[in-house]
Amino acid sequence: MEVTQIDAGEFRAKQRRDWDVASKGWSAWNERIDAATRHVSARLVEAAGIKPGDRVLDVAAGYGEPALTAAKVVGPEGKVVATDLSSAMLSFGHERAAAAGVENIEFVEADASSLDYPAASFDAAVSRWGIIFEPEGEAAAARVRGFLKPGAKMAISSWGSPDRVPMIATPMMTAMQRLGVPPPPPGTPGPLSRPTHEAIAGLLEGGGFSDVEVEELNVDFEWESPEEFARYTKDIVAPITALVEQHPPEVQAETWAAIAEAAVPHADTDGKVRMSNLVLVAVGRA
């Protein structure tokens, strides 16, 4: 599932800019995000077979997950290397680690395709909704596999199909329809680019991993109102915000209002918006 329709370097540069901007939103909403997604980090760490004393690589760690979860498991005798292309996201991750008293994480600014470590220098690798944004995903997975000890595991996550991930699909489709923007070319990396068991498994298999298995989890989110849902999306989901911000201010305001309106069907009688979203977790052996 390699992407040939886009320039990989330009794509990464744009992602770096978008996620640097989004880091402020992740800082503002991190407690809400952690509460809803900590079980995904825990499952990735478990699936990768991470244990005390291990050396772990987190690819596209963003604000520090599942790096922080892994760091607590490997303990003082182990180490986690958390990598990401966004310096701003990594800076926030470093702040979170310091606040939690976690000292066994090294934060490294680098995209997945540029990582360079000696062969067999890690006991496990993880990536939570991270490597799926890499335009050369299979090649990046192969690169990571080379850093792992023989038989070590890599566990990654993606979101499921759009109809099962309303948290992302509802605002994305609303924005595209409102702005008259066509869907991205097939294979364009993004939050919904590996939506099936076959697609997420293919990323690892294309990187040379064996014994790949895929399982499903759910992530449940709650917002106080449709308007809060729209604000959250604007702050957090960089691809959607980047799409909307290409237009005049009045069009942007109308689009975010339309996104809030699109969330109304997901609101309960108490006015709160609740969405259950499908997550796919894949694990393979180096």
In eight-state DSSP terms, residue 190 is: S
pLDDT in tens, 189-199: 999 999 999 99
CA distance 95 to 139: 31
- pLDDT band of 187, cuts 50, 70, 90: confident
Nearest C-alpha neighbor of 214 from the set 49, 27, 44: 44
Task: Give the residues across from 272 on adjacent strands.
Answer: none
CA distance 249 to 196: 36
Residues 153, 124: contact at Cβ < 8 Å? yes
Residues 193, 163: contact at Cβ < 8 Å? no
First to last CA, the chain: 20
- pLDDT band of 34, cuts 50, 70, 90: very high
Q: What is the pTM of this model?
A: 0.94
- pLDDT band of 184, cuts 50, 70, 90: confident
List the beta strands (DSSP E) in the chain: 55-58, 79-84, 105-109, 122-128, 148-159, 210-223, 273-285
pLDDT in tens, 74-114: 999 999 999 999 999 999 999 999 999 999 999 999 999 99
pLDDT on residue 268: 94
pLDDT in tens, 151-183: 999 999 999 999 999 999 999 999 999 999 998
Percent of the chain with pLDDT over 90: 94
CA distance 60 to 82: 7
Tell me the average pLDDT across 234-259: 95
Mean pLDDT for the chain? 95
- pLDDT band of 4, cuts 50, 70, 90: very low
